[in-house]
Amino acid sequence: MEFPKDLKYTKEHEWVKVEGNVATVGITDYAQDSLGDVVYVELPTEGGSVTKSEPFGVVESVKAVSDLYAPLSGNVAEVNDAIVDSPEAINDDPYGDAWMIKIEIGSPDELADLLSADEYQKFIEEEK
Amino acid sequence: MPYIPHTEKDIAKILKAAGAQTVDDLLGGLPSSLRLKRPLDLPKGLSEQELKKTLRDIAAGNSTVSGYSSFLGAGAYNHYIPAAVDSLISRSEFYTAYTPYQPEISQGTLQAIFEYQTFVCQLTGMDVSNASLYDGATAVAEAVLMARRLTGRHRILLSSALHPEYRETVETYLKGTADHLTEVAYCAEAGTTLLEAVESMAGDEPACLVIQHPNFFGCLEDVEKLASIIHAKKGLLIVVTNEAVSLGMLKPPGALGADISVGEIRSFGNALSYGGPYLGFLSTKTEFIRQMPGRIIGQTLDKHGNRAFCLTFATREQHIRREKATSNICTNHGLCALAASIHMACLGQTGLKRLAGVNLSKAEYLKKKLLSIKGVRPGFTSPTFNEFTVRLGKDSDTVLRALLEKKIFGGVALNRFYKPLGDYLLVAATEMNSKEDIDLFASELSKAL
């Protein structure tokens, strides 16, 4: 299982890639592996806003339906509609093709709450 | 399963584990004013033989459709149940199995529910049906909740010609929300939902319009027109059917513009039973499937390539999604749905059409006979299926009481639900009413007026 060092993570198993004022968000390799085959994903609409720790969408696998939690607050700048049509990308390439939304970071202070790759890995070891 | 009460030994063990001396200690937390402080006032125990006789005597005090000639409808229609239904549902494989929690092992049960869903889709002309709900009223409430989720809107229009008890159930489900429930008036002449009222009350952002077809007065609604009005405002149309036999003759709701087709399907295979258990159905379009409450049985292939059935969409039910579930009623009416399926399978397409035809003819004959009585007028002008209203020119409760003396259930007095309709009587006829019954009803009614 991979946890790229250049990404930040949350305890809700989302990854965040910060580039300037924009954060790209997806779910981690660990999350997709635990969910099993993903069959459906529901994402917000562009132009809306998300709030840190609040659900912004839903991911459904054959086993469960889980909420996606926003790692940061801000406006939704872009949505990856391609994965709505091919949700299997979430299993195949969670850190690449299967990015979910891009957030225009509203409160930069919140970045401090995100976990590093090492911290996240330690967290999921403890969760197991 | 036998009933095995706790033994003295069990009770002592439980008390010890709970750290109490006596059973009374366990109840110490209850305020003394709420406690009975004396044994229950119950008669002495009876032998099995005495008990059976006692219960039979109590039951004999009921007036049921088997001892009376019944013209009652209003959501509960008296239909013949073929012997095959009880015989098949009594098989222990079906009869003892509750909704399966390890579903795939119960292939027979899943196949039966899959067939039920198929029948519902064929009747309603919709893409997909769930595995059934408790009854028509709760199914309508679930459809309204579904429309709220789909539209994100909170203005709900209910036709006042929707069954009044269904309206009450919707109201109960929405208690505690900020939703705006609006009742749309019916036309006093036609007995159908007022199109202009829908137009003016819909506002800018209606979630849905709920109509019944045939409606509570038995009248056929202009479903297509109503669909175009609500669709123009991007709201959903929920079409309620509470006499499923009508679908053997009427155009299916799916062909008339319904987004959700919902209602009561007890008319097939299930007894009247004083109001329960009944059988709710809910069907919709594929695009709305993820907001549909309840579960679906899917057809798939096993690893050897054989046809197999599986439980799908349980992932959105309460035991998995908790408070975010599509519904908080996490079950289906398996045995009732099976009974309905067996009845529909017995009828087949031809039988269903004929059954609907017989219902229409009986009701039209009854209508003709009643309207030939002096003082009886039609309630509304719209065409009807197997139920309609008449005006008696006299308080309908008094008339019904007189008919009851003659062992006739003469219908439902509408003043119970609609205060101004004091002399309106809602009457239904089905295949259970013989020509002699109808003639007798007409002659007794004419005497009672």
Which three-class secondary structure string do you get for chain B? CCCCCCCHHHHHHHHHHHCCCCHHHHCCCCCHHHCCCCCCCCCCCCCHHHHHHHHHHHHHCCCCCCCCEECCCCCCCCCCCCHHHHHHHCCHHHHCCCCCCCHHHCHHHHHHHHHHHHHHHHHHCCCEECCCECCHHHHHHHHHHHHHHHHCCCEEEEECCCCHHHHHHHHHHHCCCCCEEEEECECCCCCCECHHHHHHHCCCCEEEEEEECCCCCCECCCHHHHHHHHHHCCCEEEEEECCHHHHHCCCCHHHHCCCEEEEECCCCCCCCHHHCCCCEEEEECHHHHHHCCCCEEEEEECCCCCEEEEEECHHHCHHHHHHHCCCCCCCCCHHHHHHHHHHHHHHHHHHHHHHHHHHHHHHHHHHHHHHCCCCCEECCCCCECCEEEEECCCCHHHHHHHHHHCCEECCEEHHHCCCCCCCEEEEECCCCCCHHHHHHHHHHHHHHC
Q: How crowded is residue B405: how many other Cβ atoms within 10 Å of its Cβ?
A: 9
The pLDDT of residue B53: 97
CB-based contact, A61 to chain B, within 8 Å = yes
ipTM above 0.90, yes or no: no
Q: Cis peptide before A108, with omega less than 30 degrees from 0?
A: no
How far does A75 lie from chain B, in Å, by closest CA? 20
Domain(s) labelled CATH 3.90.1150.10 in chain B stretch across 54-81+348-448
The pLDDT score that the predictor gives to residue B240 is 98
In 3D space, the residue among A62, A56, A25 whose CA is nearest the CA of residue A40 turns out to be A62
Distance to chain A for B320, nearest Cα, Å:
7
| CA–CA separation, B228 and B213 (whole Å) | 16
Chain A: residue whose CA lies nearest to B316: A65
**Model pLDDT for residues B288-308, shown as the tens digit of each residue:** 998 999 889 999 999 999 999
Looking at residue B101, its pLDDT comes to 64
B17-37 residues labelled b (16+ CB within 10 A) or e (exposed):
eeeeeeeeeeeeeeeeeeeee
| Cα–Cα distance for residue pair A95/A104, rounded to 1 Å | 19
- Which distant-in-sequence residues (6+ apart) come within 8 Å of B446 by Cβ? B373, B374
Alpha helices in A3-128 (DSSP H): 29-35, 82-85, 89-92, 117-127
* DSSP strand pairing (B69-70 vs B408-409): parallel
d(CA B286, CA B129): 10
Other Cβ atoms closer than 10 A to B242: 32
Interface size, chain A vs chain B, as Cβ–Cβ contacts under 8 Å: 16
Residue numbers in B near A63 (CB within 8 A): 315
pLDDT at B340: 97
Task: Determine the topology of domain B83-344 in CATH.
Answer: Aspartate Aminotransferase; domain 2 (3.40.640)
**In chain A, what residues touch B316 (CB-CB under 8 Å)?**
60, 65
Residue with tokens 């079950």: B331
A67–chain B Cβ distance below 8 A for any pair? yes
Nearest residue to B212 (alpha-carbon basis) of B235, B192, B232, B197:
B192
Q: Mapped to the 3 state alphabet, what secondary structure does B365-417 carry? A: HHHHHHHCCCCCEECCCCCECCEEEEECCCCHHHHHHHHHHCCEECCEEHHHC
* Residue at A64: amino acid letter: A
Domain with CATH 3.40.640.10 in chain B: 83-344
- The reported pLDDT for the residue numbered B97 is 59
Looking at beta carbons, which residues of chain A come within 8 Å of B320? Answer: 64-65
CA distance A67 to chain B (A): 9
Considering only the beta carbons, identify the residue of A42, A64, A67 that sits closest to B320: A64
Cβ contacts of B207 within 8 Å, gap of 6 or more: B144, B147, B148, B151, B153, B154, B155, B156, B179, B235, B236
Burial of B350 (0-12, 13-18, 19+ CB in 10 A): exposed
- Report residue A41 as tokens: 């994903």
- Chain A environment of B326 (Cβ under 8 Å): none
Which DSSP letter does residue A115 get?
B
Q: What is the pLDDT of residues A55-99, one digit of tens each?
A: 999 999 988 889 999 999 999 999 999 999 999 999 999 999 999
A104 CB burial (10 A radius; 0-12, 13-18, 19+): middle
| B315–A64 C-beta distance less than 8 A | yes
Nearest to B355 by CA among B108, B79, B124, B5: B79
Helix (H, G, I), strand (E, B) or coil at A93: coil
Which pLDDT belongs to residue B339? 96
One pLDDT digit (tens) per residue for chain B, 449 residues: 467 888 999 999 999 999 999 988 888 889 989 988 898 999 899 999 999 999 999 999 998 898 899 999 999 999 999 999 999 999 988 887 566 667 788 888 899 999 999 999 999 999 999 999 999 999 999 999 999 999 999 999 999 999 999 999 999 999 988 888 999 999 999 999 999 999 999 888 999 999 999 999 999 999 999 999 999 999 999 999 999 999 999 999 999 999 999 999 999 999 998 878 999 999 999 999 989 998 899 999 999 999 999 888 777 777 777 777 888 776 678 899 999 999 999 999 999 999 999 999 999 999 999 999 999 999 999 999 999 999 999 999 999 999 999 999 999 999 999 999 999 999 999 999 999 999 999 999 999 99
CA distance B410 to B426: 9
Question: Cβ(A105)–Cβ(A44) under 8 Å?
Answer: no
Q: Nearest Cα to B183, choosing from B206, B166, B167, B204?
A: B167
- Whether the CB-CB separation of B117 and B131 falls below 8 Å is answered with yes
Nearest by CB to B316, from A62, A63, A65: name it.
A65
CA distance A71 to A26: 10
- For chain A, the C-alpha Rg in angstroms (whole number) is 13
Taking the whole predicted model, whether its pTM rises above 0.90 is answered as no
Chain B interface includes A63 (CB < 8 A): yes
Answer whether B393's CB lies under 8 Å from B429's CB: no
Output A63 or A40, whichever has higher pLDDT.
A40
Q: Do B315 and A63 lie within an 8 Å CB cutoff?
A: yes
Tell me what pLDDT residue B322 has: 75
CA distances from B190 to B1, B195, B341 (A): 55, 11, 35
A contact test, residue of B289, B290, B315 with most A CBs within 10 A: B315
Cβ–Cβ below 8 Å for B324 and A67: yes
Q: What is the CATH number of domain B54-81+348-448?
A: 3.90.1150.10
C-alpha angle A33-A35-A37 in degrees, rounded to nearest 5: 85
Find out whether B407 and B67 touch, Cβ atoms under 8 Å.
yes
With contacts defined as CB-CB under 8 Å, which chain B residues touch A67? Answer: 324
Cβ neighbours of B321 in A, within 8 Å: 65
